[in-house]
Amino acid sequence: MKSIPLAVCAHKPRQELASEAHIGRCTTKTQSHKDGSGRKCSASAWRSWRSWRFHSGFLVCIAVLLFGGCASVYVPPAIDLKPREVIGIVEFKSDTKGDLGKFVTQKFIQSITEDQNLRIVELGDEKAVLEAVGLTYLGPDALKAIGEKHNLTTVFTGTLDVTEATPSCGFGPGYASFEAKVNARLAARLVETATGATLWSNSARDERTVAGVEQFGHNFSFKAEDPEKAYGDLARSLCRRITHDFRHTTRQKCL
């Protein structure tokens, strides 16, 4: 047993002296290891310290693998439109009255040019485009005539169909003006003017509550003073869903 100076014993209670004596026995009889700082410790403390070091190192390795060993990798667009130089677009045809078709066409242009530096020729609505080439149907003959007239090799066309609009407020004499839950489908394609062949096509459907809707019988009209606020979310959602082939993405690559 470790000897305790008498001067110290005279001032310490018997319980504290016993504790010190126990510590003395532990450090003289059972210690056989040193920790990282060189201090001596008991066998049980040594085992706890080693376990802590092991688990800490394991967690550090996991963190390095999850965060330090991974990086975001650029993935180019699946379809590169830049080699086509100039592309025409006919305003998307809609079965509704108002400016919804024109508004969605603008959002479509923004989506396809977001990651690709393209030159887009806006040809106008389908009726005006066909009248300009003396035809009445947007088929291969019309597309060929459009290509020759505007010196274009490819043209985007599309349709916007509103199949359902559920009103949520307000009616007036002879008509109704309200917010409505709209179910809309957008379909677009890229065609070759020389042959009329479809080079790409896609479609998307979405349902959202929009404002600025008027209903006359079974017909719907979209004439909001602020289209962006009234149905901007619907237009962006439809366009981004069908144009993902023209935008770059990123993916995680781990070492």
pLDDT of residue 17: 41
Q: For residue 208, which amino acid is it?
A: R
Distances (CA, A) of 156 to 103, 117, 143, 196, 234: 15, 16, 10, 11, 20
Q: For residue 123, which amino acid is it?
A: L
* Rounded-to-integer distance, Cα 165 and Cα 219, Å: 10
* 121 compared with 24, residue with greater pLDDT: 121
pLDDT of residue 228: 84
Reported as type and span, the H/E element at residue 82 is none
Question: pLDDT per residue over 88-112, tens digit each?
Answer: 999 999 887 778 899 999 999 999 9
> What structural domains does the chain harbor?
16-68 (no CATH), 82-252 (3.40.50)
Question: In sequence order, which residues have a C-beta less than 8 Å from that of residue 154 and are 6 or more positions away?
Answer: 84, 87, 88, 190, 191, 192, 193, 199
pLDDT of residue 192: 96
pLDDT of residue 172: 55
- Confidence class for position 231, pLDDT limits 50, 70, 90: confident
Cβ atoms within 10 A of the Cβ of 248, count?
13
Nearest to 224 by CA among 232, 236, 90: 232
pLDDT of residue 253: 74
Pairing of strands 93-94, 40-41: unpaired
* 219 compared with 2, residue with greater pLDDT: 219
What is the rounded average pLDDT of the residues 66-80?
A: 75
pLDDT of residue 11: 46
pLDDT of residue 98: 78
| Greatest mean pLDDT among 169-173, 174-178, 183-187 | 183-187
Reported as type and span, the H/E element at residue 71 is strand 70-75
Lowest mean pLDDT among 10-14, 38-42, 99-103: 10-14
Q: Per-residue pLDDT for 69 more than 70?
A: no
* 209 compared with 6, residue with greater pLDDT: 209
State both tokens at 144.
């060929």
Percent of the chain scored above 90 by pLDDT? 38
Question: pLDDT per residue over 181-209, tens digit each?
Answer: 888 999 999 999 999 999 999 999 999 88
Distances (CA, A) of 208 to 158, 181, 182, 199, 230: 20, 5, 5, 30, 11
pTM score, whole prediction: 0.66
* Rounded-to-integer distance, Cα 64 and Cα 224, Å: 53
Lowest mean pLDDT among 103-107, 215-219, 224-228: 215-219
Question: In sequence order, which residues have a C-beta less than 8 Å from that of residue 184 and are 6 or more positions away?
Answer: 160, 161, 162, 163, 205, 206, 207, 234, 238
In contact, 67 and 254? CB cutoff 8 Å: no
What is the rounded average pLDDT of the residues 139-154?
A: 96
pLDDT of residue 214: 67
Q: Per-residue pLDDT for 27 more than 50?
A: no
- Confidence class for position 40, pLDDT limits 50, 70, 90: low
DSSP state of 135: -
* 47 compared with 104, residue with greater pLDDT: 104
Question: In sequence order, which residues have a C-beta less than 8 Å from that of residue 94 and are 6 or more positions away?
Answer: 100, 101, 104, 159, 160, 161, 162
Question: In sequence order, which residues have a C-beta less than 8 Å from that of residue 229 and are 6 or more positions away?
Answer: 211
Average pLDDT score, the chain? 76
Nearest to 113 by CA among 240, 212, 9, 201: 240
State both tokens at 103.
């508004």
